Amino acid sequence: MQKAKDLEDWVAEARKKRGAALDLPTVMQACPEFASWARNVGGYLRDWGDLHRVAGQLRPMIGVSEHAWNLAQDLLGPQIATAALVLAFDKHANGEVASPGGYLRGMVEKAGAGELHLERSFYGRLSGRAA
């Protein structure tokens, strides 16, 4: 039971910190392939709720199971799960990830171990584009 408590603590902390560390423009700019698909499906995305809805619509396109998506949302919260799916989608579209569902599950496992740093992934993608 200790592991579940540790995960709950991490989730509570992550929602406070990491939710604020990632803003919508940064996520969309760092993942242009996802952003393009998202705008085609959902039009103008005003907030995280819009992004979450569109991510759920695009999820099957890259083979992420509903179970993996629901697990990510339950354990990470909707905003962090959405950011994680956006990252998996974009990496898959660029040939960096063969199994987006496995990648998403890996991020959930990292989160449980306190080792998920999504903001680093997004800012790293941005700095890579600037180079």
Mean pLDDT of 45-69: 94
Tell the residue number behind the tokens 């199971």, with chain if given: 65
Chain mean pLDDT for the chain: 86
Instruction: Tell me the whole-structure pTM to 2 decimals.
Output: 0.82
* Contact of 41 with 33, CB cutoff 8 Å: no
Terminal C-alpha separation, the chain: 46
* Contact of 2 with 58, CB cutoff 8 Å: no
- The pLDDT tens digits for 29-51 are 999 999 999 999 888 889 999 99
131/127 Cα distance (integer angstroms): 6
45/38 Cα distance (integer angstroms): 8
